[in-house]
Amino acid sequence: MMARTHHPSNFFNTVLTASIEQVSPALRALSNGLKLALMTNAGRVGLSLIVVHLTLAFVGSWLAPYSATDFHLEHQLEAPSSQFWLGTDQFGRDILSRLMNGAGSIIAISLAGTLLGLALGTSVGLISAYVGGTLDDLIMRVMDGLMSFPTLLLALLVLTMAPPPEEWLPSWLAWNGLNVVLTIAIVFMPWVARVIRSATLPLKVAEFVQNARLRGEGTLYMIFVEILPNVFPVLVVEVSVRLSYAILLASSIGFLGLGIQPPSPDWGLMISEGRMFLVNAPWVALAPAVAISSLVVGVNLFSDGMRQAQKLPRTK
């Protein structure tokens, strides 16, 4: 009887302690990662590139000299000049302004997609490894199946099958980047799950987990309080590696016209539109291409710096 009255509070207690206990190790892992990255040159260069892009993402739309969607029809496909620093596109829109406005969405999409994918993959990996047995076999075979699709093909499959956000979400939530976020998450989940599963397997037999078993801890507590903080270092590396793939994936989806819908500026879409003028007005496609690659290079350098300092093995 005692057990029954205690049960709800016990569960609540577990969830509460779990979330409180997670905060400090997570912050520690994060600040540790930052600190380590700043110890190397790659990390410093990478971080400064990321900071530039983040600034663009947050305040770019205010700083932009023109509106991203305004047509300057008398200035179509103009080369960079003092008036339009990076030139204009076929409708005479200022490319710099479009770049600055588009930074927010690509960073938000790729970051949200990465984090969601990480959350899904981590949960799946932890549960699969800890519970083990048939469930483990089952989950991992499904993950293998997902992994056997080429990345972009799987992404297109998910995008075309998922209903548009307007159909299943209230209008204030129905951001048209949401499907891209979900797609990135689903594409990443199996890779993250695999890495986390292999990091969990040795922890499962560790003596502190045995101690927790002797205390009579439940599965949820074991996974999220005892084991999760110990895979944070792996997660931090995983975030930084996944993020650059997410940016590329998001831009590819944009390029194929399945991402943010026009007239909102999307870097991938801008390249796609600009490629028609590559000979006569190369800046239209080049400017967003440079923007994407500098962001990816920044993220990669940063994660490289972190790995160099941490000497952690490279994950795909």
Is the previous residue joined to 263 through a cis bond, with omega within 30 degrees of 0? yes
Do residues 221 and 18 lie in contact, with contact meaning Cβ atoms separated by under 8 Å?
yes
- From 215, 311, 314, 316, residue interacting with other proteins (rule: CB under 8 A): 215
Q: For other proteins, which is the closer residue by CB, 29 or 186?
A: 29
Residue selected from 5, 133, 167, 207 as contacting other proteins according to rule CB under 8 A: 207
Measured distance CA(185)–CA(178) in Å, rounded: 11
Does the protein bind other proteins through residue 136 (CB under 8 A)? no
Q: Which of 67, 81, 210, 261 binds other proteins (CB under 8 A)?
A: 210
The alpha carbon of residue 286 and the mean position of all alpha carbons in its chain are separated, in whole angstroms, by 24
Rule CB under 8 A: say whether 211 interacts with other proteins. Answer: yes
Please tell me the total number of residues recorded for the chain in this structure: 316
Q: How far is the CB of 49 from other proteins (least distance, A)?
A: 25
Q: Min. distance of Cβ 207 from other proteins in angstroms?
A: 4
Q: Is 1 in the site for other proteins (CB under 8 A)?
A: no
Among 78, 89, 94, 226, binds other proteins (CB under 8 A): 226
Q: 21-39: string of b/e by CB count within 10 Å (b at 16+)?
A: beeebeeebeebbeebbbe
d(CA 36, CA 224): 26
**Minimum distance of other proteins from residue 126's CB (angstroms):** 14
Residue 178 CB neighbours (<10 A):
19
Shortest Cβ 226–other proteins spacing (Å)? 6
DSSP class of residue 163 equals: P
Interacting residues with other proteins between 279 and 298 (CB under 8 A): none
Alpha carbon 99 to its chain centroid, in Å, reads 20
229 binds other proteins (CB under 8 A): yes
**Contact pick of 25, 92, 257, 282 for other proteins (by CB under 8 A):** 25
User: Of 27-86, which residues contact other proteins (CB under 8 A)?
Assistant: 28, 39
Q: 3-class DSSP state for residue 173?
A: coil
List interacting residues with other proteins (CB under 8 A): 21, 25, 28, 39, 206-208, 210-217, 225-226, 229-230, 232
